[in-house]
Amino acid sequence: QYRGLNELREMYLSFFESKGHLRLPSFSLIPQNDASLLLINSGMAPMKPYFTGEQEPPRHRVTTCQKCIRTGDIENVGKTARHGTYFEMLGNFSFGDYFKREAIHWSWEFLTSPEWVGIDPDRLYPSIYVDDDEAFEIWNKEIGIPAERIFRFGKADNFWEHGSGPCGPCSEIYYDRGEEYGCHKPDCTVGCDCDRYMEVWNNVFSQFNNDGHGNYTELKQKNIDTGMGLERLACVVQGVGSLFEVDTVRNIMKHIERIAGVEYHKDEKIDISLRVITDHIRSTAMMVCDGVIPSNEGRGYVLRRLLRRAARHGKLLGINRPFLSEVLDTVIAENEGHYPELAQKSDYIHKVIEMEEARFDATIDSGLSILGDMVAAVKAEGKTELPASDAFKLYDTYGFPIDLTLEILEEQGMTTDRAGFDALMNEQRERAREDRKKMGDLGWASENLGLDKSIKTRFDGYTIMDEQATVL
Ligand code: ATP
Ligand code: MG
Ligand code: MG
Ligand code: MG
C-alpha cells in the first residue's frame, strides 16, 4: 500500500508510543556538549548521556525522528540510490530497559505486520554480528527466519560506533529491491555494495563504552539504539528507484528540473547533478535552520562546501543565475509540517543561502574557466598533478573549497598536491592570526557578516578541533 513519507514517520512514532515509548522531537543538528562530533549523524548521538547513565532520561523508552547529516557520505550522493548527506533517522531507544528480544520482535512487527507497514517478509534479510548467537536464536527460533537467510558479518558492518561513547554489536535488516537494481556480479548478496540489498534498519545492542582510544568497557546498563532511514523506508514502501524519488524529495527535484529546463531519467550525468543539488539543498536548509553559518572551518566549512558543490552542479545543468534560494521554497514547503521552525526562520535561511550563493556566484565562472586553463597547462606537460599553488589560488581568490577542486580534478583523472595545499593554508592562517594580533580588538570587526542579529547561535569554535574540518 502506498504511503507518503510524512505518513510513515507518524506511523513509526505512534507504533513505538504504543509500545510504551516517549516521543521526543528531533534534536538540533548541532551537537551540544560533544566535541567528538561536528554534526549529529544518528538518532542516538544527542542522547549519549542517557546511554552512559550520566543523565537520567525523561523515560527509559524513547522514540524520535532525528535530522542527520553525514558528510562522510558526500561522495556517495548522486551515485548510489540510498545515500544522502541529509536524512531523517527513525529510532527507538531503551536506556537500561528492554534489550535484544523486544527490539528484534518490534522491528519485525512494524515492518511486516499488515496492520503496520506490511512489507513482504520474503524480501527481508537480517544480519547479525559474527558471534552474536543470542541474536541468531531470536531471528531463527522466535521470528522463524531460516538460518541461511541470516547473515553474519564482522566488525566493519555489524559493530556500531561513531566517535567515542556507547557502542555494541548490531543486527541490520536488509530489503531485496530485486535483480534490476543489482550489480549482477555472481557473488552479489546481502552486504554487497550495490543498490540491490538495501540496508533499512539497524538495531544496535549498545552495551559497551568506547573511551575514544579504543578501550571498551561494559556499560552499567544494557541499551537499545536503533536507526532506520525514513527516506529508505519510504523508498521501499513506495517502490521507487532511489531516495530521491520518494514523494517529498521528488518534489524538490522537480523544482530544480523546472529551473534548469531538464528532465530526470533522460541522461545519467544530468541525473547525478539533480540528485546532488536535491540532497545538498535539503542538508544546507536544515543546517542553516539549526544555526550553522558558512565559514572556512568546522561545521561552517561543511555548509559552505555543500552549498558551493550544489552551485557548481547548477552550472553543469546550465543554470546561469543564483537559484538555490528559490529551490529552498520547496524544501520548506515539503518539510514545514513536521519541522515548523523551517517556516518560522524562512527569511533568515533564505538570506544566509542567498548571501553565500551570491558570494560564490561572483567568482565561480571565472574560477571554473581558470581551473580549465590550469588543467590544460598541466595536461600539456603530460602531467596529472595540479600544483598546490594553483589549488590555493582557486581557494583564496575564487572561493573554491579544496574538496570541490579535488572533485573537478578527479573527473579529469587528475589530482593535486594536497600536502602542499595544506601547508599554504597553514601559512595563511598564521598570517591572519598575526594580523589580528596587530589590530587588537578591531580584528574581529571583519567577522560581522551582516546577518540577522535576532538569531542566536552558540559560538563553539574553541571546542571544535581544526582537524575535524579536514577529516570531513
Ligand atoms: P549503509 O551501509 O547503507 O551506508 P550504514 O550502515 O552506514 O548504512 P547506519 O549507521 O547503520 O547506516 O544508520 C542506520 C540507518 O540509517 C541505516 O540502516 C539507513 O537506513 C540509514 N542511513 C544511513 N546512512 C544514510 C544515508 N547517507 N542516507 C540515508 N539513509 C541513511
Ligand atoms: Mg554508511
Ligand atoms: Mg551498513
Ligand atoms: Mg548500518
Where residue 155 sits, what CATH number does that domain have?
A: 3.30.930.10
Please tell me the number of the ligand nearest to residue 197's CA.
1
Half-sphere exposure of 374 (CA within 13 A, CB side): 23
Tell whether ligand 1 has an atom less than 6 A from the beta carbon of residue 201. yes
C-alpha of residue 123 to centroid of ligand 4, in Å: 18
C-alpha of residue 172 to centroid of ligand 4, in Å: 6
In terms of Cβ atoms closer than 10 Å to its own Cβ (0-12, 13-18, 19+), residue 76 is: middle
Please tell me the number of the ligand nearest to residue 42's CA.
1
Task: Provide the residues around ligand 3 (an ion) whose CB is within 5 A.
Answer: 199
Tell whether ligand 1 has an atom less than 6 A from the beta carbon of residue 43. no
Total number of domains constituting the chain: 2
Nearest CA to ligand 1 atom 3: 199
Residue 446 has pLDDT above 60, yes or no: no
Mean pLDDT score, 381-389: 97
Q: Which of 39, 159, 230, 232 to mutate to test the pocket of ligand 1 (most atoms within 8 A of CB)?
A: 232
In a shared domain, residues 226 and 253: no
Label residue 432 by pLDDT band (50, 70, 90).
confident
In a shared domain, residues 378 and 316: yes
Residue 378 has pLDDT above 50, yes or no: yes
Residue 463 has pLDDT above 70, yes or no: no
The predicted pLDDT at position 157 comes to 87
The predicted pLDDT at position 253 comes to 98
Mean pLDDT score, 193-213: 93
Nearest CA to ligand 1 atom 27: 83
Mean pLDDT score, 223-238: 98
The predicted pLDDT at position 441 comes to 57
C-alpha of residue 262 to centroid of ligand 2, in Å: 30
Label residue 442 by pLDDT band (50, 70, 90).
low
In a shared domain, residues 389 and 417: yes
Residue 412 has pLDDT above 70, yes or no: yes
Tell whether ligand 1 has an atom less than 6 A from the beta carbon of residue 227. yes
C-alpha cell, 77? 550522493
Cα dihedral: 86, 90, 95, 97 (round 10): -160
Residue 57 has pLDDT above 90, yes or no: yes
Q: Which of 37, 40, 83 to mutate to test the pocket of ligand 1 (most atoms within 8 A of CB)?
A: 83
Residue 55 has pLDDT above 60, yes or no: yes
Q: What is the pLDDT of residues 79-97, one digit of tens each?
A: 999 999 999 999 999 999 9
Give 453's contacts (C-beta < 8 A, 6+ positions apart): none
In a shared domain, residues 207 and 258: no
Q: Which atom of ligand 1 is nearest to the CA of 89?
A: 16
Q: What is the pLDDT of residues 141-169, one digit of tens each?
A: 999 999 999 999 999 889 988 778 888 99
**Which of the listed residues 176, 207, 238 is the one where a domain comes to its end?**
238
Mean pLDDT score, 183-192: 94
Does the interface ipTM go beyond 0.85? yes
Label residue 288 by pLDDT band (50, 70, 90).
very high
In a shared domain, residues 217 and 301: no
Whole-number Å distance between alpha carbons of 90 and 12: 7
Mean pLDDT score, 277-283: 98
Whole-number Å distance between alpha carbons of 280 and 341: 19
Nearest CA to ligand 1 atom 4: 83
Q: Which atom of ligand 1 is nearest to the CA of 42?
A: 13
The predicted pLDDT at position 47 comes to 95
C-alpha of residue 444 to centroid of ligand 2, in Å: 39
Pairing of strands 159-160, 165-176: antiparallel
Q: What is the pLDDT of residues 174-187, one digit of tens each?
A: 999 999 999 999 99
In a shared domain, residues 252 and 318: yes
In a shared domain, residues 203 and 315: no
The predicted pLDDT at position 187 comes to 93
Whole-number Å distance between alpha carbons of 220 and 55: 13
Residue 220 has pLDDT above 90, yes or no: no
**Which of the listed residues 208, 238, 268 is the one where a domain comes to its end?**
238
Mean pLDDT score, 106-134: 97
Residue 399 has pLDDT above 60, yes or no: yes
pLDDT averaged over every residue in the chain: 92
In a shared domain, residues 352 and 326: yes
In a shared domain, residues 404 and 445: yes
Residue type, 18: S
The predicted pLDDT at position 440 comes to 67
In a shared domain, residues 224 and 257: no
Q: Which of 8, 65, 202 to mutate to test the pocket of ligand 1 (most atoms within 8 A of CB)?
A: 202
Domain that holds residue 119: 5-238
Residue 459 has pLDDT above 70, yes or no: no
Whole-number Å distance between alpha carbons of 242 and 239: 9
Q: How many CB atoms lie within 10 A of CB 252?
A: 25
Q: Of 210, 215, 185, which Cα lies nearest the Cα of 197?
A: 185
In a shared domain, residues 207 and 119: yes
**Which of the listed residues 185, 215, 238 is the one where a domain comes to its end?**
238
In a shared domain, residues 223 and 260: no
The predicted pLDDT at position 164 comes to 80
